[in-house]
Amino acid sequence: MKVCIYGAGAVGGHLAARLCAAGKHEISVIARGPQLQAIKQRGLTVSRGDEVHTGRPQHATDDPSTLSPQDVVIVTLKAQALPDAAASIETLLAPNGIAVFAINGIPWWWHKGLNVPQTPLFPLDPQGQLWDRLRDKTLGCVIYSPNEVIEPGVIRSAPKDRWMLGEPDGSESERLNRVADIFQSAGIRGLATADLRYEIWYKLLINCGLNPVAALTRLPTPLMNKNPHIIALRKAVMQEVTDIALACGTDLRGKIDFDELCTPTKRSGSNRASMLQDVLAGRSLEHEAILGIAVGLAQVHGVSAPRCELMLGLMRGLSESMEQDS
């Protein structure tokens, strides 16, 4: 099969390296800048604990129009970059092709399959380009895998990663199993689930309690994990997200170990949260998908979420400051 990784940065580069190393499918990547040049020259390398996976994609480009139609396009762009890429993703897909959105936060396709008006999700899809072009060609993916580009073409990750795959409407399908098989053929733990929204809320809870705090404090995760004041704040934020999820129909109560999430003993976690990496690199931030939609849903359902609201306001201010500095 022809598989394209659309956005071969930290997350996409991880997937591409392992899929290329397995050699089971024709892999193409879309990347840019020094990362693209490194991929063309040396391929990709991902280290996971004691494991090292190295592979070179058959095609690497910054122009999707140069690629032939793809059976599967795994999109690993940040949420704020997706609307501008909607047309090129649609064009890249073969007639029966599938776009897999491996992204953080509440996804743009959130309304699909819910008992709500079937409309685009503002502000993640402000012009409805993603909804109109891709809603019936889409699978969702929740990523449990910390990744960081430590130099162009070289990615550091952690063992025990997990990639949860699901249909937006919660159905079981042949195409869902087909994509899970692609992951598993490379030794990647890609698991099909009929309740992807549970996974989205669980990962959102982690992200809301980690990424904005890391971006605002600029502290690496190990130092945050040792600060009792930050730990208390993170737990309070995660509790608010638990309440929002419950109001939206997903019950996380009794299934969350806040202590383990804030001071993990069972997993190594990442050294620098992804949003901190973006701040340090001067990249745009995905706070709207992670915090903005959560706060909006809290307001719709009458859930009190003052700490999430405060974090969102501060993140919007930080984003504005970074835009002025760029």
Element (H, E) at 34: helix 33-42
The answer on pLDDT for 231 being more than 90 is: yes
Which structure tokens are listed for 145?
A: 């895998």
78 classed as catalytic: no
With a cut of 60, say whether residue 269 has pLDDT above it: no
Rounded Cα distance between 234 and 307, Å, is 9
Which CA distances in Å does 7 have to 14, 29, 51? 11, 7, 23
**In this predicted structure, what is the pLDDT of residue 266?**
64
**Contact in structure between 267 and 160 (CB atoms under 8 Å):** yes
How much is the pLDDT for 326? 74
Query: Domain 2-194 is of which CATH architecture?
Result: 3-Layer(aba) Sandwich (3.40)
What is the CA 18 to chain-centroid distance, rounded? 18
Residue 263's pLDDT is 84
Cα 126 to Cα 137, 241, 255, 300: the distances in Å are: 19, 24, 34, 19
Q: 198-325, which class in CATH?
A: mainly alpha
Indicate if 198-325 has the same CATH topology as 2-194. no
> Which pLDDT belongs to residue 254?
85
From CA 171, how far away is CA 191, in angstroms rounded?
14
Q: Provide Rg for the chain, Cα atoms.
A: 19
Q: What is the mean pLDDT of residues 14-21?
A: 98
Give 193's pLDDT tier (boundaries 50, 70, 90): very high
Asked if the model's pLDDT at residue 255 lies above 90, the reply is no
Query: Crossing angle for the helix pair 196-217 and 306-325, nearest 10 degrees?
Result: 60
The pLDDT of residue 164 is above 90: yes
What does the pLDDT average to over 6-22? 98
Cα torsion 247, 249, 255, 258: sign:
negative
pLDDT value for 261: 87
Secondary structure tally for the chain: helices H, strands E: 13, 12
Sequence spans of domains, the chain: 2-194, 198-325
Helical axes 196-217 vs 228-247, angle rounded to 10°: 150
Bridge partners, 54 (sequence order): 45
pLDDT of residue 271: 83
Each residue of 74-97: pLDDT tens digit? 999 999 999 999 999 999 999 999
**Percent of residues in the chain assigned helix, strand, coil, to nearest 5:** 50, 20, 35
pLDDT, tens digit, for every residue of 41-67? 999 999 998 999 999 999 999 999 999
Nearest of 197, 140, 134 to residue 163 by alpha carbon: 140
Tokens of 257: 């170990």
Q: What is the mean pLDDT of residues 312-316?
A: 98
The catalytic residue among 24, 40, 203, 235 is: 203
The mean pLDDT of 263-289, rounded to a whole number, is 86
**pLDDT band for position 198 (50/70/90)?**
very high
pLDDT of 110 over the 90 cut: yes
Structure tokens at 160: 């025990």
- In this structure, the strands spanning 44-48 and 26-30 are unpaired
111-160: per-residue pLDDT in tens? 999 999 999 999 999 999 999 999 999 999 999 999 999 999 999 999 98
So what's the pLDDT on residue 264?
79
Residue with the bigger pLDDT between 262 and 315: it is 315
* Residue-level pLDDT at 265: 74
Q: Find the largest Cα–Cα distance for the chain.
A: 54
| Other Cβ atoms closer than 10 A to 34 | 12
pLDDT at 212 over 60: yes
Residue 207's closest CA among 148, 296, 145?
145
